[in-house]
Amino acid sequence: MAFGFSPKHIERKAIEGLSQEQFIVIAIEAAKKLSWDISYLSGTGIIAYTKFSFSSFGEEIKITVNDNKATFVSSCVGSQLMDWGKNKQNIKEFISVFKEIKSSFTLTELDEKVEELKSNLEVKGEQIVSQSPPSASKKIGDLLSIFKPAKGYIITPIIIDLNILIFLFMVMSGVNIFAPDNESILRWGANFRPITLDGEWWRLITNYFIHIGVFHLLMNMYALLYIGILLEPRLGTSRFTAAYLLTGLCASLASLWWNYLSISAGASGAIFGIYGVFLALLTTNLIERTARRAFMVSIAVFVLYNLLNGLNGGIDNAAHIGGLISGILIGYAFYPSLDVDASPKQKYSAIGVITVVVGLISVIVYNKVPNDLPEYNTRMQEFNSYESMALEIYRMPKNSPKEELMYEVKNRGIYYWNENIKLVSELDKLELPDFIHKRNKKLIQYCQLRIKSYELLYMAVKEDRYKYRRQIDDYERQINNIITELRSSY
């Protein structure tokens, strides 16, 4: 069982009396019999891809022959950490089928196949090279290599290092390593509509560099590592940096638009954006057809699984979807500048135009998203003040004059309960979360019950009688029930 980033299994064997061309011919026939899709072949070897199955996202099989020795490499193209022996099994099956086909060929048949191969293939004697997306995985020789920039792998480790460093600073400042509280996350720059729209726009960027616990950090950094290894060499440093930052911003805007009171943090929105860029490129001719089919399955499974998992709650799917869609659009926008004949001017022009467009959209969205909650909370202080004045009747001395009691009930008590009904009705017209609209209805019902209770109290004082006591007690029970419901809704 192989473990690692893109797990693989490697074997080397002597070709046992076969010429290089004869070995390649038999290898091609063996791959066909195993129903592998041959992506590339030359005079020195082949690259093929296994079929997608329940046990695999697909593997890349690279077979090369030099100096009478064959090298077999089976590596995962999916984002799994373990291959559960699949890569080793691929090579074992290939060698078994290879031997079977070798024994079935006569020397004459084999020579005919070699001539057929030569007539259909211009043999240049070069080493086999993959037509799949260029990878920086060769730079990941050990665990420490993950964090070290190298050619074709520069921005990915820098982003990983930055996220880890910020998390370490958070922990050293006293933030819980496993389950940070909301106050801590907000203090470090999480995205939260009431605060973000109250002038702290920078949270749209800072939020995707902080994480809600060590497990959240590790999961996101592994996903970033996998896609970074695949995509950064293809995009280049400038495009990859722009894609990460811009799709992360789009993810933050989507979260801001969709969520009222959710606190959003983590790199997953930007990571979904990078996956979106790769998905877009996999639908173009930039990557060889067989290779992109294998990668498409792997990326699609990752995206769909995480989006469905986000339906369970506690996960900001709005940011995921915003990042993914923006990534797909940015991927298509980058595509023309990725052509081999494209000039550096095309590359930087594409980055510049996309940055300006995303910037303008950000300004528009930031100014259009309603932020009525702070106004609601401020105005609700008036409700509390009116309620306090309306309840002053219960703080009056028992021997207060009758006229004074009647005045307090009618001209202050009932008056302020009516004012609170007007206030809540007005505030309910604001753009607010559904649960607050429901609470507003309860508050109005609460005030109406208070008014009915006070009307009976007024009659009781005026007539100096206790015949309304039972009805008043009934209203009080209803009022207490609503108070309990309101407290549980906070």
* 402 contact partners, CB below 8 Å, separation of at least 6: 461, 462, 464
Q: How many CB atoms lie within 10 A of CB 17?
A: 9
Q: Is residue 237 part of a domain?
A: yes
Q: Is residue 124 domain-shared with residue 236, that is, in the same domain? A: no
Q: pTM for the complete prediction?
A: 0.82
* 114 contact partners, CB below 8 Å, separation of at least 6: 19, 21, 22, 25
Q: Is residue 351 domain-shared with residue 248, that is, in the same domain? A: yes
322, 337, 368 — which closes off a domain? Answer: 368
- CATH code: domain of residue 64: 3.30.310.80
Tally of domains within the chain: 3
> Residue 359 has which token pair?
């910037």
* 281 contact partners, CB below 8 Å, separation of at least 6: 133, 231, 234, 287, 331, 334, 335, 338
Q: Is residue 1 part of a domain?
A: no
Q: Is residue 2 part of a domain?
A: no
Q: Is residue 42 part of a domain?
A: yes
Sheet holding 69-76, edge to edge: 8-14, 69-76, 59-66, 45-49, 37-42
Token look-up 């009307």 returns: 455
The dihedral formed by the CA atoms of 98, 102, 104 and 110, expressed in degrees to the nearest 10: 130
> Which runs of consecutive H residues, i.e. helices, occur in 50-154?
86-104, 107-120
Q: Is residue 58 domain-shared with residue 196, that is, in the same domain? A: no
Q: Is residue 341 domain-shared with residue 412, that is, in the same domain? A: no
On the 0-12 / 13-18 / 19+ scale of CB atoms within 10 A, 398 is exposed
- From first to last of its 490 residues, what are the pLDDT tens digits of the chain? 554 567 889 999 998 888 888 999 999 999 999 999 888 888 788 999 888 765 566 788 999 998 889 999 998 876 666 778 889 999 999 999 999 999 998 888 888 888 888 777 654 444 444 444 445 555 566 678 899 999 889 999 999 999 999 999 999 999 999 999 999 999 999 999 999 999 999 999 999 999 999 999 999 999 999 899 989 999 999 999 999 999 999 999 999 999 988 999 999 999 999 999 999 999 998 887 777 877 888 888 888 988 998 888 789 999 999 999 999 999 999 999 998 778 889 999 999 999 999 999 999 999 999 999 999 999 999 999 999 999 999 999 988 999 999 999 999 999 999 999 999 999 999 999 999 999 999 999 999 999 999 999 999 988 877 788 999 999 999 999 999 999 887 6
Q: Is residue 33 domain-shared with residue 121, that is, in the same domain? A: yes
Distance CA 362, CA 67 (A): 59
Q: Is residue 292 domain-shared with residue 431, that is, in the same domain? A: no
Q: Is residue 388 part of a domain?
A: yes
Distance CA 285, CA 274 (A): 19
- CATH code: domain of residue 175: 1.20.1540.10
Q: How many CB atoms lie within 10 A of CB 279?
A: 18
Nearest residue to 391 (alpha-carbon basis) of 271, 479, 298: 479
What is 386-416 written as a DSSP string?
HHHHHGGGGGS-TT--HHHHHHIIIIIIIHH
Kindly provide the residue ranges of all beta strands, DSSP E only, lying in 156-272, ordered along the sequence. Answer: none
Q: Is residue 272 domain-shared with residue 391, that is, in the same domain? A: no
Distance CA 90, CA 75 (A): 10
Distance CA 389, CA 377 (A): 19
Q: Buried b / exposed e across 195-225, counting CB within 10 Å, b at 16+? A: bbbeeeeebbbbbbbbbbbbebbebbbbbbb
Give whole-number Cα distances, 22 to 65, 95, 114, 247, in Å. 11, 15, 6, 50
Nearest residue to 317 (alpha-carbon basis) of 307, 325, 327: 307
> Residue 120 has which token pair?
């259909």
Domain boundaries, position 147 = 138-368
What is 40-71 written as a DSSP string?
EEETTEEEEEPPPBTTBS-EEEEEEEETTEEE
Q: Is residue 440 domain-shared with residue 299, that is, in the same domain? A: no
On the 0-12 / 13-18 / 19+ scale of CB atoms within 10 A, 151 is exposed
Q: Is residue 147 part of a domain?
A: yes
Q: Is residue 125 domain-shared with residue 142, that is, in the same domain? A: no
79, 98, 131 — which closes off a domain? Answer: 131
Q: Is residue 396 part of a domain?
A: yes
